[in-house]
A and B are shown apart, each in its own frame.
Chain A
Amino acid sequence: EAGVTQFPSHSVIEKGQTVTLRCDPISGHDNLYWYRRVMGKEIKFLLHFVKESKQDESGMPNNRFLAERTGGTYSTLKVQPAELEDSGVYFCASSQTGGGYEQYFGPGTRLTVT
């Protein structure tokens, strides 16, 4: 069984540019979560999809961040325009229906905004 995959593994962009991160969850997992870890800080929740619906986006920092999950499969997280403070590692995780099941994490995308 393939795990959670994320693309790209690393992205370096300039302030003001746009970046789109992609996450492919484990097949059949309805729940998809995005998290972010800024250097030196804890991993923080960004948002939660159940299938294609946003269940909870309380952790999204501001309206420069847009997440989608068309068709309930893969998800994208777009940052537009990127700011220096957006640098960090963006993790995606997926889990089976039920909310309390184990979340399987992807390898993360390291975003560097210069």
Chain B
Amino acid sequence: AQSVSQHNHHVILSEAASLELGCNYSYGGTVNLFWYVQYPGQHLQLLLKYFSGDPLVKGIKGFEAEFIKSKFSFNLRKPSVQWSDTAEYFCAVGSYNQGGKLIFGQGTELSVKP
């Protein structure tokens, strides 16, 4: 069965610290990979996505993620977080063969202290 695992449930950082959120997935075919973010009181919105090509993808607000096929991983990174990055982050996997439905990880709550 397909699954997505996010390594951390809650991460607390100070402003300017570097961020790395782990995501591993289990799927036997070609996948599309996503990171979504939900800021307090807002909709889920797409941070970045990987479909093919360069495994290092850049998203909005200075976020990036690296797809490592051999490790089934798609970790999210940001060199220097800001208080405004406080949110919940979701890793997700989708597939054309599955109609595009998304399989989500459990979510990681990020709290950035000013």
> A residues within 8 Å of B by Cβ?
3-4, 31, 33, 35, 41-45, 48, 50, 55-56, 59, 91, 93, 95, 98-103, 105-108
Residues of the A chain whose Cβ atoms lie less than 8 Å from the Cβ of B107: 42-43
Which of A33, A44, A107 meets B43, CB within 8 Å?
Answer: A107
Assess the A44–B100 pair: CB atoms within 8 A: no
Q: Does B106 contact A (CB under 8 A)?
A: yes
Q: Which interface class (under 10, 10 to 19, 20 to 34, 35 or more) fits B?
A: 20 to 34
21 A-B Cβ contacts within 8 A? A3-B43, A4-B43, A31-B99, A31-B100, A42-B104, A42-B106, A42-B107, A45-B101, A55-B99, A59-B101, A98-B100, A99-B96, A99-B99, A100-B51, A100-B95, A100-B100, A102-B49, A103-B100, A105-B43, A106-B43, A107-B42
Q: Does B57 contact A (CB under 8 A)?
A: no
Assess the A105–B100 pair: CB atoms within 8 A: no
Residues of the A chain whose Cβ atoms lie less than 8 Å from the Cβ of B32: 100
Assess the A43–B101 pair: CB atoms within 8 A: no
* B104 closest partner in A (C-beta): A43
Residues of the B chain whose Cβ atoms lie less than 8 Å from the Cβ of A99: 94, 96, 99-100
